[in-house]
Amino acid sequence: MKRNTWITLIIIILTVIGLFIFLAFVDNKTTNNTNDQKNNSSLSQDQPVTTKNQINISNLAFNPNSLTIKAGDTVVFKNSDPVAHTVTADNKEFDMPVNSNGSVSVTLDETGTVKYRCNNHPTMTGIVVVQ
């Protein structure tokens, strides 16, 4: 093989190894997060997943990005990504780790708009409008 081919192959191998190390770090960091619970919401992990009021996490995005529910409804976050995420409200109402292929849910009792994000992936954001 030519020298350039060897260099390219080594770069690809090192990149793949680096990606695996990064993903292992992100998953471990999320697993060590703690849950916060406020008076106006209830949190639970690994609940049976339903499609009503469900937000899917895949391809490093929340889908749908915006969801409207009624006060007292429960929102289920289902993670289909191969890495762990968090579902963290900007107002600190909830902060939940979501492992790969896992799910968490939160019941929102107060009307208003709840903005949330993934602490591990800052570009991942969404909103829940509670009516």
CA-CA distance, 53 to 55, in Å (whole number)?
A: 7
Taking only the tens place, the pLDDT of each residue in 50-90 is 458 999 999 999 999 999 999 999 999 999 999 999 999 99
> Domain residue spans in the chain?
30-130
Taking only the tens place, the pLDDT of each residue in 84-123 is 999 999 999 999 999 999 999 999 999 999 999 999 999 9
Taking only the tens place, the pLDDT of each residue in 21-42 is 666 655 444 444 433 333 344 4
pLDDT value for 11: 85
- Pairing label, strands 41-45, 36-37: unpaired
pLDDT value for 40: 41
- Mean pLDDT is lowest, of 1-5, 8-12, 22-26, 35-39, for 35-39
- The CATH homologous superfamily to which domain 30-130 belongs is Cupredoxins -  blue copper proteins (2.60.40.420)
